Each structure stands twice: as structure tokens, then as C-alpha cells.
Amino acid sequence: MTGIAFTYAFLFISLFFEVFLLVSFLERRLLKGMAPALAGQAGILPSVCITIPCYNEAQTLRSTMGSLLALDYPRDKLELVIVDDGSTDDTLTIARSFETDARVKVFHKENGGKHTAMNYALAHTNAELIGCLDADSIVEQGALLRVVPLFQNNRIAAVTPGIHVREPKNMLQRMQHVEYRLSIFNRFMLAALGSVFITPGPFSIFRASVVHTLGGWREGHSTEDMEMALRLQVAGHAIANQPEAVVHTNTPSTLKGLFRQRVRWTYGWLRNAIDYRSLFGNRRFGNLGLLVLPSAIFSIGAGIYFFLRILWNIAQSISHAVLRFEAGAGFSHGSFSTFYLPTSALWFLVMASVALILVLICAGSLIGTGSRKPPASTPLFLLFYSFLVPLWLIAAVVRATFKTGVRWR
């Protein structure tokens, strides 16, 4: 009975948050439109430095730099700083081949992690805005011109883009393609609610003066983008989102690579949540402290709970079937029923939650591409991806509990 009560509670809370985001989205779309108006003329655009931190990125750096050099932005106001963070392949040689363009600067340093590469670039630029583009990503030509006008609001200290999966090839990448559409919706709505808790590596742009004042980037448990987002808001700054600033990023193509990446992300989120625990339940931080951060922790617990609950019920069903067989009753086709039955209210809640997720994916597609159609691989995502997520959630919780740390590579 206690297990069923927990299941109902988790489902109701999950549904509440999904409905809250959807209603907030519909209200914002009705009253304010989808995106802020673009403004500004080339003569008054701020200077921008885009940092490309590199560690063994010889295979992808050329395409990344090609997209940056093609940005639609005044040449005299754009600076591209490649920081080779102690690569052991041909990254530095490839980087130096771009120095023929006056906008490009190349620096080499001993390996110290992405946050040290970002701080190195910060110390070598006088630009008003500083951003980052991971060397496995490419940015669309008009992206920067769509981001910059949002900084006319003095409260805005950072702007995040719309991130899409770059050329998904196998089933795993196609499922991530759907996940990233859902993330586009979530990031857009969290920004609207003043509750962004991550400034992702692919093309997040910052007000350089604010970053200087805050002391630059920190290691942040291998997730400097999460740590910086939380620190910005503790200092009273806001983070905006511009989904029309489109970036395409590479994603893991193997289960091992995906597992490692997501354990690092979740571990970093949990450790940063502990570091910034004063935000939780704090009315001073509005939706971020009262709703979004607690919901993020809740979602991790709910994902693990449902996964373990299903495993427990499957194990019980198998045990009952074996006992029936040993007693001579034979196997029963009904012996493998799980805790949710097609005729129960619980099943209705599960289906409602799945339907809402589908709606949010469609909303993410509308925000990110202008089309209401979800990606073709959405059924794969809905059927299989939820069974993968708890695996790295459990691993990350264990590591965060015992402070084992994670490695980028």
C-alpha cells in the first residue's frame, strides 16, 4: 500500500509540473509571442569574443571554425580565440592554420580542464561579450545576431541558444535528437520563468564584465556551465534563452559514451546542488528556488523510484510464476502483470504523463524549428529512453554520495 501511495504521489507531482510548464508556455505564446524582437544596427553592436576550448579536437575543429568564420557579424567586432588545452593530437597545428584570419587568435597551455581554457581566453580579450563554442559543435550563420539584442536588458548576464543534435545517425542518436527537442522547450520555459540552471557549452554568451566580477569560471565538479548559471543568479543576474540562435552539436553514438556523459552531467548537477543548497526553498530566488530546483531533484528521485519499482514487480511476478510451476499449476500468462494495470487509475496517470511529454516535444519542435511535428524517432524515445535514464541516475547518485568524482574523458 505504501508503494502504491508513493507511485501516485510521484505521478501527480510529475503531471503537475508538466502541466504547469505547458500552461505557462501557452500563456506566454498568447500574450508575448514566441521570441523577443531583434534590434540593433551594426554600428552599435557590442564586441564579442567566442572561445573554442580544445582538447584533442583534431577531427572536428575545422568544421567548428568554419561555422564561426561564417557568422554574420561585423569583422571588426568579432574575435575567435582557440585555446588548446594541452592536446596530444594535431589540434594545435590545425588551430594555427586559421591564424591567417585577423579575427582568430590561438593559445596553447598545459591541460587544466575546460574552465581553465575559458579563463585563459577571458584574460586575453577586452570584448564586451564572451561566449563558448565546444569544438564538436557548429553554429548557424545568423545565431550571434539573434543573441546580442537580448543584452540590451541590463539584468541579462547570459543567453543560451537552441541546441540541436548534429546529423543523428544511429538509433541512440535519434533518441537524443528527440530529447534535445524536449530540452529546447524546457530551456525556453525555464528562462521565461527566471529559472535557468545551466548555461551549456555550445554557444552560451556572457556579459564579460559580470564574469570578471564573479572571478571567472570554476571547475564546478566537471560541469562549469551549471556552476556558473547558479552563481550568476545568486549574484542577482538573469539568464535568457534565444531558441532561434541555432547550434548543432555532436552526441554520443554508443551506450558507453552516453552513459559516461550523463553520469558526469548528473553528478555535476547533484554536487553543485549541494554547494548551492541555500537556493532551495528560498523565496528570494522565486521560481528557481521554490519550484524548479526542487523539481529537478524530485525528477531524479522519481526516475530511480519508478525504475526500481518496475524491477521489483517483475521480480515478484517471476517468483510467483516459479512457485506456481513448482506447485504443478504451470505458468500463467497473467503472472507477469506489473504494478500498473490497463483498467486502473494508475495506468491512466501514466498514459497522461506520456501524452503530455509528447505535447512538450511538439512544443519544443515548434520553438526550435517552427514545425509542430515531432521527430520521426519520437516513438523510440518514448518506448526505450526512459529505461536508460535511471541507469546513469543511479550511478551518479552513488558517485555523488561517496564523492568519487568524474572525469571529462
Condensed to tens digits (0 to 9), the pLDDT of residues 20-42 reads 999 999 887 766 654 444 444 44
Give CA angle at 289 (237, 26), nearest 5°.
85
Alpha carbon of 385 to those of 270, 291, 294, 328, 380: distances in Å? 21, 25, 23, 39, 7
- Taking the CA atoms of the chain, what radius of gyration do you get in angstroms? 23
Cα-flanking dihedrals φ and ψ of residue 49, to 5°? Answer: -115, 120
Q: Where are the beta strands (DSSP E) in 11-94?
A: 48-54, 78-85
Q: 52: closest CA among 15, 13, 28, 87?
A: 87
Q: Which of 154, 180, 308 is nearest to 250 (CA)?
A: 180
The CA distance from 159 to 143, in Å, is: 11
CA-CA distance, 223 to 359, in Å (whole number)?
30
The pLDDT tens digits for 322-370 are 888 777 665 555 444 444 444 467 778 888 889 999 999 999 999 999 9
Q: Which residues of 238-260 are buried (b: 16+ CB within 10 A; e: fewer)?
A: bbbbbbbbbbbbbbeeeeeebeb
CA distance 53 to 48: 16
C-alpha cell at 70: 561564417
Q: Pick from 270, 203, 207, 304: which is nearest to 405 by CA?
A: 270
Query: 246 CB contacts (<8 Å, ≥6 apart)?
Result: 139, 140, 143, 161, 162, 164, 368
How far apart (Å, rounded) are the C-alpha atoms in residues 226 and 46? 25
pTM of the full predicted structure? 0.91
Instruction: Write the pLDDT tens digit of every residue in 114-161.
Output: 999 999 999 999 999 999 999 999 999 999 999 999 999 999 999 999
Closest CA to 203 of 161, 140, 165: 161
Q: What would the pLDDT profile of 278-318 be if each residue is shown by its tens digit?
A: 999 999 999 999 999 999 999 999 999 989 988 888 888 88
Q: Which CATH architecture has domain 46-280?
A: Alpha-Beta Complex (3.90)
Task: Count how many Cα atoms sit within 13 Å of the Cα of residue 145 in the half-sphere of its side chain.
Answer: 15
| 357, three cell numbers | 511529454
Location of C-alpha cell 545568486 = 234
State the average pLDDT for the chain.
91
- The letter for the amino acid at 243 is P
Q: Distance of alpha carbon 102 from its chain centroid, rounded?
A: 33
Q: What local confidence, expressed as pLDDT, does residue 341 receive?
A: 42
Name the nearest CA neighbour of 10 among 401, 372, 295.
Answer: 295
- pLDDT score of 31: 63
pLDDT digits (tens, 9 = 90+) for 73-127: 999 999 999 999 999 999 999 999 999 999 999 999 999 999 999 999 999 999 9
Q: Is the Cβ–Cβ distance between 115 and 12 less than 8 Å?
A: no
Beta bridge partners of 240: 159
Question: What percent of the chain clears pLDDT 70, i.e. is strictly above it?
Answer: 91
Q: Is the pLDDT of residue 165 over 80?
A: yes
**Cell numbers at residue 160, please?**
543560451
Q: Structural domain boundaries of the chain?
A: 2-30+285-402, 46-280
- The CA distance from 378 to 107, in Å, is 42
Residue 182 · residue 360 · CB < 8 Å: yes
Q: Pull the grid cell for residue 99.
A: 591564424
